[in-house]
Amino acid sequence: MLSLSTISVLVLALSGGVSAFPAHASLAGYSREELDAIIPTLEFRAPTLPPGPINDTSAKLVNDKAHPWKPLRRGDIRGPCPGLNTLASHGWLPRSGVATPAQIVTAVQEGFNMENTIAIFVTYAAFLVDGNVITNQLSIGGKTPETGPDPPKPAIVGGLDTHAVFEGDASMTRGDAFFGDNHSFNETLFDEFVDFSNRFGAGKYNLTVAGELRWQRIQDSIANNPTFSFVSPRFFTAYAESTFPINFFIDGRQSDGQLDLTVARGFFKDSRMPDGFFRASKPMGADGIGNVAAAHPIPPGRNVGLANYVPDPTSANFSSFCLLYTNFVNQTIRSLYPAPTGILRKALNTNLDFFFDAIPAGGCTQVFPYGQD
């Protein structure tokens, strides 16, 4: 059965012209008939190889003359990731908030010194579930605009705001989708970030604070969100993201692992680097993730009703990393694209190859949900 929203998308797609299917909206979840109507209206951009590592991986000025912070313009998109929001607001990514996966890999490497294989793995995971593989575009948000002086335009489908495929529950500074807004900066939650930094970090956010705050956010969702889900991939991204402020928001010339809270607010709330900001001094990923998880271990699982957290033994965990990859491809992606054909299948397969190639050689066995060619 077609829902009202898919019918309106279809009408848009068929009418062509000014209000065509958005080039950065995901094609996930549409029926064969809908895809047959939408895809011919889109400009096909073949996937390009993900960028390799950068040559110069030293700390350097990234809030520079060529990358000044600018406020949002009408229509600019921002979303749940303060890292990507900041790169867009400094022009390391297109300020519109819509980018190709290759642009995202380059931007996180150049702007923050994110390590190459991690940058590719995370970017292509997000792109496969939330991006448009025909136009090769990904929205870092999903609504346009998030804030700004102008009246909001209608929401569009897809992008990183899409709940439960990449965006997930128990974020540090964003609410759970269950409570309505899953992507905007939430002052109350940031106050908690500050409170925990005061209590466990003497006024700074560090790895000790990260372990305590991560646990608090999980406990909060267990107690208050009956739909709380904390299985792979969210199980991994939640712990990884707890380390990112330490690994990427601390100036690369500073090596003590203590993040200033004014600096943190700039990134989380305003998508803004401090004046004179230097990126990390070496390629970084989720360094410290083990410390965060070990502070208060909990198995992957979900609430079955309020305050009733039930472990899910079929989810990947820290001792079964390949299951993260396998389930993501064989379950998550396949459920979004049950039976792709033509250029859609080809584009999915190429991007699935890029995604798999980011896993250290010999680490896992590749899965081919749509055949091999």
Ligand X SMILES: *[C@@H]1O[C@H](CO)[C@@H](O)[C@H](O)[C@H]1NC(C)=O
Please report how close the Cβ of residue 11 comes to ligand HEM at its closest, in angstroms.
29
Nearer to ligand HEM, 213 or 344 (CB): 213
User: Could you tell which of ligand X, ligand HEM, none binds residue 303, using a CB distance below 5 to 8 A set by kind?
Assistant: none
Q: Edge to edge, what strands does the sheet with 309-311 contain?
A: 229-230, 301-303, 309-311
Question: Which does residue 335 touch among ligand X, ligand HEM, none (CB within 5 to 8 A, set by kind)?
Answer: none
Residue 218 near which of ligand HEM, ligand X, none (CB within 5-8 Å, type-dependent): none
Q: Give me 229's structure tokens.
A: 């889900």
Residue with tokens 């929205």: 139
Give the shortest CB-372-to-ligand X separation in angstroms: 13
Q: Which does 367 bind (CB under 5 to 8 A by kind): ligand X, ligand HEM, none?
A: ligand X
Residue 119 binding: pick among ligand X, ligand HEM, none (C-beta 5-8 Å cut-off by kind): ligand HEM
Nearer to ligand X, 31 or 326 (CB): 326
What token pair was written down for 366?
């590749």
CA 91 – CA 107 distance, rounded (Å): 9
Binding site for ligand X (CB under 6 A): 55, 143, 155, 161, 163, 175, 177, 180-183, 186, 188-189, 201-202, 206-208, 257, 299, 313, 317, 319-320, 326, 330, 367
> Residue 314 CB, nearest distance to ligand X (Å)?
7
81 touches, from ligand HEM, ligand X, none (C-beta below 5 to 8 Å by class) = ligand HEM
End-to-end CA distance of the chain: 33
- Please give the residue ranges that form the binding site for ligand HEM (CB under 6 A): 80-84, 104, 108, 112, 114, 119, 122-123, 126, 160, 166-168, 171-174, 237, 241, 244-245, 248
- DSSP character for 42? S
Preceding peptide of 145 cis, ω within 30°: yes
State the minimum distance, in angstroms, from the CB of residue 318 to ligand HEM. Answer: 18
**Smallest separation, CB 114 to ligand HEM (Å):** 5
- Please, what is the angle between helix 101-112 and helix 82-89, to 10°? 90
| DSSP assignment of 139-171 | ESSSSS-SSSSSPPPPP-S-STT-BTTTB-SS-
Nearby residues of 120 by Cβ (< 8 Å), 6 or more positions away:
50, 105, 354, 355, 357, 358
